[in-house]
Chain A
C-alpha cells in the first residue's frame, strides 16, 4: 500500500480511530494486525519471509538472553571463588555458545536476503569470469521478486540479535510484541532502521488520545507529501527522461539532470521519512530520525552522519567496529601501520553499503567512491590542517563554510552519476559530456529545459520545480518545527501546504525510490 494514495488515507483513518477507541492495553495488538494488513496489501505471499525472519530472530534473541543470564548468575554465585582468570574463562565459554547461535541466526537471515537479492548478480559474475577463462556458459537467471522491505527488516532483526548478544538490549519474550517491532508498518518498507532498545520504550505502552500530537504528525505528513509529489516526482520526470537515454541530450541537460537527481532523491527519501515519522507520531510512537539537512554538510564524513542516519549507524555499530576490533585486523595494524585497520574497516563498510543499495557494480562503485573520499579525509587530515594554517584560513569564516558546503555537494553529486546511471557505460558517458562538452549558451539552455514537458510549457514547469525546491530548502534552514510551532499560523500553514500539493503535485507516481532497495 503506497503512502501517497487514497487507500492509505482510508487505512490510516480507520486504524487511528480504532486505536483510540479500543482499551489501551490492546493498542499494540491492533498495530500488529494493522501492520500485517498493510504488508499484505503490497505483497501477501511475501508475508512468509517476514514471518520466518521474525520467528528465527525471536528464538535467537530469547536463547542469547538465557545464556547471558546463566553466565551472569554463575559469576554472581561463584563471585568469592572465581579468580580474575577463571571469570574470564567462564565468560569465554558462554561467549562461544552465544556466538554460535548468533552466527546461525545471521547466516539464515542474511542468507535469505543474499539469495533473493544477489543470486542473479552472483551468477552473472560467475558467467563473466568463466567467459574470461574461455568457457562460455550462461547460468539461468532466477525470475523472482524481492519481498517488500527485506533489506530494511533484515537489518532491523539482525541488529536486534547483535544487541541482545552484546547485552546492549534486552530480548523481547512475547513473540507477538516482537513481531510488531519487526513489522511496524511505518518503518517496514523503507526504514528507518530502528533499534529495539529505543523503539520498545513507546511501542508497547498505552497511549491516550492527544490532539496536538495528531496535529503535529499531520503537519509532518503534509511536509513529506509536498516533498514527494511537488518536488521529487516533478524533477523525476526530467531525470528519468535524460538518464533513460543520455545519448539524446546535451551536456547542460545531463548536468541539470544530475543536480535535479540530488534534489529528487533527497525529497523522495526524506519525504517518505517525514510521512513515516508523522504517521508513527500520531500513534504516540517515536521513530529514529533519518536525515539532518545533509546537503548543508561541510565534509563527506559529516554528510554521512546526516544522510540515511540509521543505515550509517547500523554499518558503524555492526560491521565497522567488529571488523576494526577483530584480532586479524589488529594484527595487520601491528605488522603494517596503525591506520591500516581503519582503512580496511572503511573499505569493507563502503563496499557493503554500495552492495546493500543494489546488486550491481555501479552501486558498489558509488559506495567505494564515498569510502575513498572518507579514507582520504582521514589520512590527509593533518595535511589539510597545516594547509589551512599556512593559508591563514579562518575555519569559522562563513564564506569558508559556504565553500565547504558547495564542495561537499559537488562531491556527493558526482557520486549520483554512478548511482542513477543505468550502467557504468552510461555513467562514463554522462561524466565525459558534463566535463568536456558542457558548452553553456542561451540555445543550449533552451534545449536543456525541454525534457520537462517536451513542449513550450517546459519553462513554467521548470519555474514551479525551482520555486518548490527553494521552498523546501529555505524551510529546512528555518526549521519546519519553528514555522509550525507558531500557534496562530498552524491551520494557515496546513491549508497553504495542502493547496500547493493539490495544485502542483504530480499524482500517479506512487512508489518511492528507496522501496526497490
Chain B
C-alpha cells in the first residue's frame, strides 16, 4: 500500500470516528487541528485505525504520537 493510499484510508477512519465529512488530514495534522480530538476520541481513533489496518499500537506510540504523519509511518512499518 502506498503512502497516499494509507492517507486515504486514514482519512476515511477520521471522517467516521469524528462523524465529519469535511475532515481532510495531512502529514502535519495534530489533535489541535481536528475538533473533538481529545483523550477519549484519541483512543477510539487508535482502535479504529488498528481495526482498519489490522495492526496494534503500543502504549508508547499512543501517548507520544505527534501528528497523522507519524501514524502513517507506523502503518507503513507494520503492514
Contacts and interface: CB of A to CB of B under 8 A. Distances in A.
A166 B60 contact: yes
B76 to A, nearest CB: 15
Contact of A320 (B36, B39, B60): B39
Nearest to A302: B38
B19 A321 contact: no
A168 interface: yes
Nearest to B35: A395
A381 B44 CA distance: 14
B32 interface: no
A317 interface: yes
A321 B40 contact: no
Interface string A339-352: 00010001000000
B64 to A, nearest CB: 6
B59 A322 contact: yes
Interface in A302-343: 305, 316-317, 320-322, 324-325, 338, 342
Contacts of B60: 166-168
A166 B36 CA distance: 27
Chain A contact residues, majority secondary structure? helix
A166 B63 contact: yes
B43 interface: yes
Interface residues of B, number: 13
Interface string A358-384: 000000000000000000001001100
Interface residues of A, number: 18
A167, A321, A382: residue with the most chain B Cβ atoms closer than 10 Å: A321
Contact of B43 (A168, A301, A324): A324
Max chain B CB contacts within 10 Å: which of A166, A378, A382? A166
A79 to B, nearest CB: 14
B43 A166 contact: no
A319 B64 CA distance: 16
B38 A168 contact: no
Contact of A382 (B19, B43, B59, B62): B19
B12 to A, nearest CB: 17
Contacts, number: 31
Contacts of B63: 166, 168, 317, 321
A345 to B, nearest CB: 8
A322 B58 CA distance: 10
Contacts of B19: 382
Nearest to A346: B40
Contact of B40 (A166, A167, A342): A342
Nearest to A316: B39
Given A168-B64, A342-B43, A382-B19, A325 B59 contact: yes
B49 to A, nearest CB: 13
B39 A166 contact: no
Given A168-B64, A342-B43, A382-B19, A321 B59 contact: yes
Interface in B14-72: 19, 36, 38-40, 43-44, 58-60, 62-64
A316 B39 CA distance: 8
B14 to A, nearest CB: 16
A325 B43 contact: yes
A166 B38 contact: no
Nearest to A378: B40
29 contacts: A166-B58, A166-B59, A166-B60, A166-B63, A167-B60, A168-B60, A168-B63, A168-B64, A301-B38, A301-B40, A305-B38, A316-B39, A317-B63, A320-B39, A321-B43, A321-B62, A321-B63, A322-B59, A324-B43, A325-B43, A325-B59, A325-B62, A338-B44, A342-B40, A342-B43, A346-B40, A378-B40, A381-B36, A382-B19
Given A166-B63, A381-B36, 14 more contacts: A166-B59, A166-B60, A167-B60, A168-B60, A301-B38, A301-B40, A321-B59, A322-B59, A325-B59, A338-B44, A342-B40, A342-B43, A342-B44, A346-B40
Top 9 A-B pairs, shortest CB-CB distance: A166-B60, A166-B59, A316-B39, A168-B60, A324-B43, A167-B60, A317-B63, A378-B40, A342-B40
